[in-house]
């Protein structure tokens, strides 16, 4: 039922949002050139790597595709990128990831290999389900970039403070996930207040 819901909703969402996607793509190109999309390898279900898509919100750096860490550093964020990140519209291309089966609408956010390697036993549990576009950790850490920007050591803060809290929420999702729970998370994502 969850997979059928994902397919139907990603198709409907893609069709309804197509004009928005086209306008955003044009805005990215006009603001900072090509490419329109940022593609990064993330770890998904069963520990398998897949290419995750976003609208590009930063200037191009080759290392970013392999998981370089820019938390708290907004120097590379483009003018359009600031708006995309704040509104979370940069995540909309992941509807394609949902349609092809790499991701689900709701599930633990996929991570880069670097951070999976830090807590491998915990990620093994998380990787028993498809990663998602949104989940409770995405809602709770909606302002993660601002939090890390205030840290003197953003990588350490992410590794020792943020990531363990996210993993606890991911593990809880794996234990208690349900279709109705997913619907609640979708509504909390769209209307967070």
Q: pTM for the complete prediction?
A: 0.91
Contact 133, 93 (CB under 8 A): no
Buried b (16+ CB within 10 A) or exposed e, 146-165: ebbeeeeebeebbbeebbee
The HSE-up count of residue 88 (CA atoms within 13 Å, CB side) is: 13
Q: What is the pLDDT of residues 106-149, one digit of tens each?
A: 999 999 999 999 999 999 999 999 999 999 999 999 989 888 99
pLDDT tens-digit series, residues 168-189: 999 999 999 999 999 999 999 9
Angle at CA of residue 167, ends 163 and 115, nearest 5°: 50
Q: Which residue has the tokens 């992941």?
A: 94
Asked whether 57 and 32 are in contact (CB, 8 A), the reply is no
DSSP percent split of the chain into helix, strand, coil, nearest 5: 60, 10, 30
How many CB atoms within 10 Å of residue 74?
14
Burial class (CB in 10 A: 0-12, 13-18, 19+), 193: exposed
In whole angstroms, what is the distance from residue 17 CA to residue 22 CA? 9
What domain range includes position 80? 2-190
Distance of alpha carbon 83 from alpha carbon 104, whole angstroms? 25
Question: What are the tens digits of pLDDT across the range 5-50?
Answer: 999 999 999 999 999 999 999 999 999 999 999 999 999 999 999 9
Q: What is the pLDDT, as a whole number, of residue 191?
A: 83
Residue (of 17, 153, 193, 8) closest to 91 by Cα position: 17
Contacts of residue 184, defined as CB under 8 A and 6 or more positions apart, other chains included, come to none
pLDDT tier at 71 (50, 70, 90 boundaries)? low
| Count of domains observed in the chain | 1
């Amino acid at each position: 039922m969850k997979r059928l819901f994902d397919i139907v909703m990603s198709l409907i969402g893609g069709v309804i949002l197509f004009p928005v996607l086209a306008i955003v793509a044009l805005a990215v190109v006009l603001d900072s050139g090509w490419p329109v999309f940022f593609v990064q390898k993330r770890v998904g279900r069963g520990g398998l790597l897949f290419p995750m898509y976003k609208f590009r919100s930063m200037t191009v750096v080759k290392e970013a595709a392999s998981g370089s860490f820019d938390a708290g550093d907004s120097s590379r964020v483009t003018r359009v990128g600031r708006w995309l990140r704040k509104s979370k519209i940069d995540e909309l291309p992941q509807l394609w990831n949902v349609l092809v089966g790499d991701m689900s609408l709701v599930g633990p956010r996929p991570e880069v290999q670097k951070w999976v390697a830090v807590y491998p036993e915990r990620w093994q549990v998380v990787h028993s389900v498809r990663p998602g576009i949104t989940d409770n950790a995405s809602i709770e850490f909606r302002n993660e970039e601002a939090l890390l920007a205030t840290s003197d050591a953003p990588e350490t803060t992410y590794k020792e403070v943020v990531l363990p809290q996210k993993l606890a929420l991911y593990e809880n999702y794996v234990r208690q996930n349900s279709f109705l729970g997913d619907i609640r998370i979708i509504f909390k994502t769209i209307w967070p207040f």
